[in-house]
Amino acid sequence: MAKPSVLGRGLGALLSEIEEAYDNELPKKSGVDELAISSIRPNPFQPRKHFDPESLAQLSESIKSHGLLQPIVVKEDVDGYVLIAGERRLRASKLAKLPTIKAIIVTVSNNEMREHALIENIQRDELNVIDLAQAYQELIEIHELTHEQLSQTVYKSRAQITNTLRLLQLNEKGQKALVEGKISAGHAKVIIALEPQEQSLIIDSIIGQKLSVRDVEQMVKKIKNNDEMHSPKIEKSPQFDFKKLHTLLGEMGLKSSNKGSKFTIDFETNGQIATFLTTLSS
């Protein structure tokens, strides 16, 4: 099992290198270049899927007025550059129609690039709750971490990590509704134990009727009670006592055995069968 302190070869050095480069972000300092925005591709491992348009517009106006205060981080590729960190800044700069952007060029592997994208977004709280849960799950799968080990790695409580991961039990409709703010985390917590179809029905009710978490708790309770009433009851197999029968057959010189409700008599000769049938008919 991987140790929580090791997320990838050289990742700690990468983070230190980026931090040092940020401290020397002025163009005249080494390590910062001015790159054509058209030459930079998005990070394929970016865990963040949702970017608020209003927030991007505000950042774009700030960049227009004051310039980019913190450079993005990229790695060189065969036909340009691949973004490692700073997608909001890159998107906002594109929105501002700027031809170039300040960037720090670092040398990293694809694994390090993937890991840094996850860690950066988690530690900066830049992910919505579903993207965050997926980022946690990805780190756990990559490094076979326990929730406790991941907690020590990303500096979040184990309970927060466990509760966030549970939200992945929501169906696709539920996850989308949570991200869009149509249902709350409290609503989600109540409905994750339901079947996907039942979740969808409850979500429609929450949105259409503006139900509170307490209302949803009552609905879920009724659904569970109804399921219990209509679930088929499994009959327990009857327990038979074959001791007297074993004794009686033994007195007749017959061997017998049983397994559960199945009883077997072993006959060695035709005479034993005849004697047994005579006893049954008498």
Tell me the whole-structure pTM to 2 decimals.
0.51
Query: Does residue 205 carry a pLDDT above 80?
Result: yes
Query: Does residue 189 carry a pLDDT above 50?
Result: yes
Instruction: Give the pLDDT score at 203.
Output: 93
**Measured between alpha carbons, how far is residue 38 from residues 6, 175, 190, 242 in Å?**
35, 33, 46, 85
- How confident is the model over 108-131, as a mean pLDDT? 73
- Residue 200 three-state SS: helix
Confidence of residue 78 (pLDDT cuts 50, 70, 90): confident
Per-residue pLDDT of 227-262, as tens digits, reads 655 555 555 556 667 778 777 877 777 888 877 777
Domains of the chain by range and CATH?
Answer: 11-115 (3.90.1530.30), 126-228 (1.10.10.2830), 243-273 (no CATH)
The pair of structure tokens assigned to 172 is: 């696709």
Instruction: Give the pLDDT score at 244.
Output: 80
- The number of beta carbons lying within 10 Å of the beta carbon of residue 226 is 10
- The number of beta carbons lying within 10 Å of the beta carbon of residue 205 is 14
Asked if 87 is an active-site residue, the reply is yes
Query: Does residue 13 carry a pLDDT above 70?
Result: no
- How confident is the model over 193-202, as a mean pLDDT? 90
Instruction: Give the pLDDT score at 11.
Output: 42
- Locate tokens 């790159």: which residue? 35
Instruction: Give the pLDDT score at 6.
Output: 41
Look at 214 and 153; give whichever has higher pLDDT.
Answer: 214
List 87, 112, 115, 120, catalytic entry: 87
Instruction: Give the pLDDT score at 245.
Output: 79
- The number of beta carbons lying within 10 Å of the beta carbon of residue 186 is 12
Q: How far apart are CA 274 and CA 269, in angstroms?
A: 9
